[in-house]
Amino acid sequence: MRKTGPIAALMVALAPGLSPANHLYVSPTGAGGACSELKPCSLERAREKVRTLNATMSDDIVVFLRGGTYELETPFVLGPRDSGRAPYDVVYQAYPGETPVLSGGTVIRGTSLADPSKHIWKAKVDPSLDTRQLYVNGVRAVRARSVGGLAGAFRLPDGYSTTDQSIATWGNPGDIEFVFQAKWAEMRCGVAEVAGNRITMKQPCFRNSTVRPSLGVTADRPTYIENAYELLDEPGEWYLDRAKHTLYYIPRAGEDLTGATVVAPRLELLLGVVGTPTAPVRHIRFSDLTFAYATWLRPNGNDGFSETQANFTLTGTSRPSDGNWTKTPANVTVRYASHVAFTCNTFTHLGGAGLSLEHGSHDNLIARNVFTDISANGIQLGDVDQPFPAPDRSATDNEISNNLIHDLPKEYHGGVGIWIGYASRTLIAHNELFDLPYTAISNGWGWGVVSYAGHNRIVNNLVHDHVQLLTDGSGIYTNGVQGTSLSTGTRIEGNLVYNQPNPPGAIYLDDGSRFVTVINNLTYASPYAYTFLHTRNDPNIVTNNYRDPAGTPQWIRDSAGLEPVGRASRAGGCPQEESVR
């Protein structure tokens, strides 16, 4: 990708008019093969036309998406045939002044009042619909849930006994889900069977969540119960009866379902940019697009969501000692790709992780995007299955900068804003992250494992109002060996971190962190500025950092010379969103 100026220069600014041969136009109702401004085509047809143009590129090929909702029937997938040719890119971007939305949702129609006494409404849905999320007028609804846990719960090897025998009368016991919050993790396991006061849980989720001696966190009694019609009792709650193909919802104050837009996410993948080790995808850009309304269904099954940390789970019969961690998939996924850029996009209303750069991702850019209302991690970079992968599988030389990441994860609360696994030469700079239930930025993996990771930089980020629900997290967290020496390790510099209500501290070098330099950072309103340096953590450098429990954010921000993202500093053409408050 050509980097000849600021990120704003990546945007293509063209006035409507004549359509050069390398400019294609699409719309949600596009048809035919012209792909012109007057006769736009479909997104899939434009992809086919790009494949006839990109072999002999002499300039960028630009696909302009007109405004509106693109209701995807299947994921939009780009492979090696869709690549640009250096130094030129294939660009998918919004038509000037318009907002295209790539949606994996289905609009629910035909609502009617089901239970006037409880104000429960219902709608018949397609028998194929399965989802874990629902949105009413763009606002995430809450799956029907209890206020507390299981009354009189006594844990057994395969489930519980309870003093609350009313659960035995609930319909669809296989839909019920128990949620366990334990320190830094949140586990979710489904119910297999209820008989009298005896509840049998789905396996292997329950076993993986309760028999894990080496992980330091274990599910015990449920924090709350979710996903039963009998739990519908609050405005904004919903339940999908998959057996009867019926959706139930209690409107919030002021909501009129007869005129509301109700969307149920259906697809698990919206956009895939997927190459292979021998044929990677190259030189594609996405700008000013909105990715919205996708789900993720694996937690519905027997594996459930047996979290270890940062939305990585145990699945099947794997054990922690095996190192078989399963990553939560993203609704936008990039794999075996280089010189791919996401600039000025919005990622929202998503049921998995937001954006993931996986095996073989290098020289990619994630800049000036908004990530919000996402069920799991916001951004994921790298993997954890191979500490020393082959060069074509490594994640190197990627940049994550000037993004606004907030109010996530909304469902799997042990997730983080930005997660980096085994990766090297990563730049994480000038991002603003806030309103997070757990850690904001997490870098590294392995608890002492040596890997190819190194030369990562976490600089001048603004992090606040994090670790609001769980504990043992931080604004900036490291894990594992970071390089081979202090000169090749991770550098954490010039960051402002504040307003962390739960321990341990603002910058946290967890067990096994080595070769980390923490310098010139500013923290306040946190339990500790930075916390334990375990025995195995040496050598690290922690110096010239400032902690002021009573400091003011403006004074600290001005002194640090930070450049927080937000409305004032977002580049022209980016989605506009109010900063912080």
123 bridge partner residues: 247
- For every residue of 465-518, DSSP letters joined together read S-S-SSSSB-SEEE-SB-SSSTTTSEEEES-EEE---SSB-SEEE-TT-BSEEE
Domain coordinates in residue numbering, the chain: 106-264, 434-581
Q: d(Cα 186, Cα 101) in Å, to the nearest integer?
A: 31
The residue written with tokens 């603004």 in the block is 462
> Lowest mean pLDDT: which of 39-48, 183-192, 213-222, 531-540?
531-540
Residue 14 has a pLDDT of 42
Residue 84 has a pLDDT of 98
Regarding beta strands 61-65 and 90-94, do their DSSP bridges make them parallel or antiparallel, or are they unpaired?
parallel
> Lowest mean pLDDT: which of 23-32, 303-312, 516-525?
516-525
pLDDT at 562 over 90: no
Residue 148 has a pLDDT of 94
Residue 561 has a pLDDT of 43
For 446, the 3-state DSSP assignment is coil
- What pLDDT, in 10s, does the model give residues 406-424? 999 999 999 999 999 999 9
Do residues 246 and 123 touch, judged by C-beta distance below 8 A? Answer: yes
- What pLDDT, in 10s, does the model give residues 431-490? 999 999 999 999 999 888 888 999 999 999 999 999 999 999 999 999 989 888 999 999
Residue 511 has a pLDDT of 78
> What is the Cα 324 distance to its own chain's centre?
21
**For the chain, percent of residues with pLDDT exceeding 90:** 78
pLDDT at 575 over 70: no
Phi-psi category of residue 387: left, alpha or beta, with phi > 0 → left and psi -120 to 50 → alpha? alpha
Q: d(Cα 277, Cα 292) in Å, to the nearest integer?
A: 29
- For every residue of 131-160, DSSP letters joined together read -S--EETTEE-EE-B-SS--TT-EEETTEE
- For every residue of 22-83, DSSP letters joined together read TEEEE-TT--SS---SSS-B-HHHHHHHHHHHGGG-SS-EEEEEPSEEEE-SS-EEE-GGG-
Q: d(Cα 267, Cα 415) in Å, to the nearest integer?
A: 21
Least Cα distance to 443 among 430, 429, 428, 431 occurs for 428
Residue 224 has a pLDDT of 98
Query: How much is the average pLDDT of 206-234?
Result: 92
Phi-psi category of residue 121: left, alpha or beta, with phi > 0 → left and psi -120 to 50 → alpha? beta
Residue 17 has a pLDDT of 44
Q: Which two tokens stand for residue 500?
A: 């962390």
pLDDT at 169 over 70: yes
Residue 16 has a pLDDT of 44
Do residues 131 and 108 touch, judged by C-beta distance below 8 A? Answer: no
> What is the Cα 499 distance to its own chain's centre?
22
For 268, the 3-state DSSP assignment is coil
DSSP state of 354: E
The residue written with tokens 């990553």 in the block is 327
Q: d(Cα 405, Cα 466) in Å, to the nearest integer?
A: 11
Residue 566's pLDDT band, with cuts at 50, 70 and 90, is very low
pLDDT at 7 over 70: no
- What pLDDT, in 10s, does the model give residues 374-388? 999 999 999 998 888
pLDDT at 192 over 80: yes
Instruction: Specify the higher pLDDT residue, 552 or 355.
Output: 355
Q: d(Cα 259, Cα 333) in Å, to the nearest integer?
A: 34
CA distances from residue 16 to 23, 38, 372 in whole angstroms, order as listed: 11, 10, 31
> What is the Cα 96 distance to its own chain's centre?
27
Do residues 444 and 482 touch, judged by C-beta distance below 8 A? Answer: yes
Query: How much is the average pLDDT of 315-333?
Result: 82
Query: How much is the average pLDDT of 5-10?
Result: 35
Query: How much is the average pLDDT of 237-248?
Result: 97
Q: Which two tokens stand for residue 538?
A: 């040496």
pLDDT at 576 over 50: no
Query: How much is the average pLDDT of 516-527?
Result: 90
> Looking at this protein, which amino acid is placed at residue 280?
P
pLDDT at 177 over 50: yes
Q: For the chain, what is the radius of gyration of the CA atoms? A: 24
Q: d(Cα 377, Cα 473) in Å, to the nearest integer?
A: 14
Q: Which two tokens stand for residue 186?
A: 């949140």
For 86, the 3-state DSSP assignment is coil
- What pLDDT, in 10s, does the model give residues 503-520? 998 999 987 899 999 999
Residue 320's pLDDT band, with cuts at 50, 70 and 90, is low
- What pLDDT, in 10s, does the model give residues 327-372? 999 999 999 999 999 999 999 999 999 999 999 999 999 999 999 9
What does the buried/exposed string (b/e) look like for 222-237 if buried means 16 or more CB atoms within 10 Å of the residue's CB? Answer: bbbbbbbbbbbeeebb
At CA 332, angle to CA 343 and CA 2, rounded to 5? 35
pLDDT at 307 over 90: yes
pLDDT at 305 over 80: yes
Residue 6 has a pLDDT of 33
Instruction: Round the average pLDDT of the chain to a whole number and report it.
Output: 89
Residue 322 has a pLDDT of 56
Residue 319's pLDDT band, with cuts at 50, 70 and 90, is low
pLDDT at 214 over 80: no
